[in-house]
Amino acid sequence: MGAYQALHHQHSQKPSSTHHGRVALAWLISAVLCLALLHLLCCSPRAAHDNVVVSSLLQYITSTYFQGTPLAQGSASSSSCDYSEGQWVRAAGHARRYNGTECNVKDSENCVRNGRPDTDYLDWRWQPAAPGCQLPGFDAAAFLGAVRGEHVAFVGDSMARNQAESLVCLLGASFPYHLVYRDPEPGTRKFWRWAFPTHNVTVSVYWAPFMVRATGRSENYSLLYNSVHLDALADRWSADAGTMDVAVVSTGHWFWNPSVYYNGSEVLGTHQLPQLNHTGIGFLSPYREAIRTSIRRLASAGRARAVVVATFSPAHFEKAWDDPETCVRKLPYTEGERDVDATHAQLRSIVREETAAAAARGGGATRVEVLDVTKLATMRPDGHPGVYMKRDPFARGVPERLQSDCLHFCLPGPVDTFNEILLQLLLAAKRE
């Protein structure tokens, strides 16, 4: 609970309006078809993981029966496409690419399994605003081809994990894979690694909520604040930095927490801790410092690599954090209905500036890029688990107080689009 409370400082937004109640017919049809197919091939659902043929067939069924749109829309995208601005447009089945149970997503993000009744949130694709730009649907073969023999690492907070799990599911819907390693606390999913043997690719996730070394609340939610050491990177990922060919950095939410910021033994200042009598320094400059040091570390390992830094993906708590209606919207915001918050825009600018500065410095073989998801994530209040972070939350009626997750995205869900953009960034890098 603390983890969510920690993140629930965020703003109240306009109350929700529309209430669509739609039956998940497509899911039912697919479930029946999948079961029939698996039965036919005498395979258990688990075995589908290890069987390319069955996986491909499943994907074929998926695309044929509930996708409505082709998997990819050709190679309309060019390396100069800007995906940061745009709007969500209806595309039946676009985000119905995998079954979160089969790829073992975190329970609290497995919205379909948890009984979320509406499925409209799976029927949108991101249309970039830039003229002539299309964002093709995710193409697992293209992704694995682009990172053949490589280690793709996601480093950061739980949004990094959310995106890593999305990628594993998107790839795993078409290719066999297995879990190579997970940390002894499976519930937390802080350090996991998967292998895709057909392409000798590993995907991993490193939990480092501040990127830099931090103790206190991030390790023990019953503590009041974090002690954040801006002069030292978090141990685990920085030790492995030299093995990362593609590093996706995604951080931000923990910087809103009460923290003491250090440079060595010197206290630089605090955020939201007036009682400690240090200078309040907010969280923007510490965030910039953490991003800058992380990029520097990744770009200095002398290995050909892509460093991709994601911008802030905001939460959508509209009411009190434990109000069962705090995020119940069932549709994306339409253009003009919602702007990027000023503070989120500042965090976004910091990433844009730091990646641009690093790219301008030139890192030899290293490409430093921004994965700008702030706008597209801002527009998706409907894509969070909400109360469906728990299984069948209304099984015993509607309680007055109920915890919601309005921060992470359902899997499948809008975070799959982050990986669609990541793929285009990687493909563009290969073309150059």
Ligand X SMILES: *[C@@H]1O[C@H](CO)[C@@H](O)[C@H](O)[C@H]1NC(C)=O
Q: Confirm whether 405 is a catalytic residue.
A: yes
Residue 99 Cβ vs ligand X, minimum distance, rounded to whole Å: 4
Per the CB < 8 A criterion, the answer to whether 255 and 210 are in contact is yes
Q: Are strands 191-196 and 201-207 parallel, antiparallel or unpaired?
A: antiparallel
289 is an interface residue for ligand X by CB under 6 A: yes
Q: Confirm whether 408 is a catalytic residue.
A: yes
**Alpha carbon 226 to chain centroid, angstroms:** 23
Beta strands in 295-408 (DSSP E): 306-310, 367-371
Residue 206 Cβ vs ligand X, minimum distance, rounded to whole Å: 17
Residue 422: partners with Cβ closer than 8 Å, 6 or more residues away = 167, 248, 308, 371
Residue 398 Cβ vs ligand X, minimum distance, rounded to whole Å: 24
Q: What is the DSSP string of 59-120?
A: HHHHHHHHT-S-S--TT---TT---SSEEEEE-TTTT----TTTTT--GGG-TTTTT----G
Report 137-166 residues binding ligand X (CB under 6 A).
149, 151
Q: Which stretch binds ligand X (CB under 6 A): 25-33, 57-65, 136-144, 348-356?
A: 25-33
Report 317-356 residues binding ligand X (CB under 6 A).
none
Q: Confirm whether 222 is a catalytic residue.
A: no
Among 3, 130, 223, 273, indicate the residue that binds ligand X (CB under 6 A). 223
276 is an interface residue for ligand X by CB under 6 A: yes
Among 43, 72, 87, 102, indicate the residue that binds ligand X (CB under 6 A). 102
C-alpha 60/C-alpha 71 separation (Å) is: 10
Residue 403 Cβ vs ligand X, minimum distance, rounded to whole Å: 20
Residue 323 Cβ vs ligand X, minimum distance, rounded to whole Å: 28
374 is an interface residue for ligand X by CB under 6 A: no
Site string for ligand X, 231-270 (x = CB under 6 A): x-------------------------------x----x--
Residue type, 79: S
Q: Rg of the chain's alpha carbons, rounded to an integer? A: 21
Closest by CA to 426, choosing from 152, 181, 143, 209, is 143
Among 9, 41, 43, 45, indicate the residue that binds ligand X (CB under 6 A). 45
Closest by CA to 389, choosing from 122, 1, 165, 114, is 114
C-alpha 107/C-alpha 104 separation (Å) is: 8
List residues with catalytic annotation: 158, 405, 408
Residues that bind ligand X (CB under 6 A): 27, 30-31, 34, 45, 99, 101-102, 112, 149, 151, 200, 220, 222-223, 230-231, 263, 268, 276-277, 289
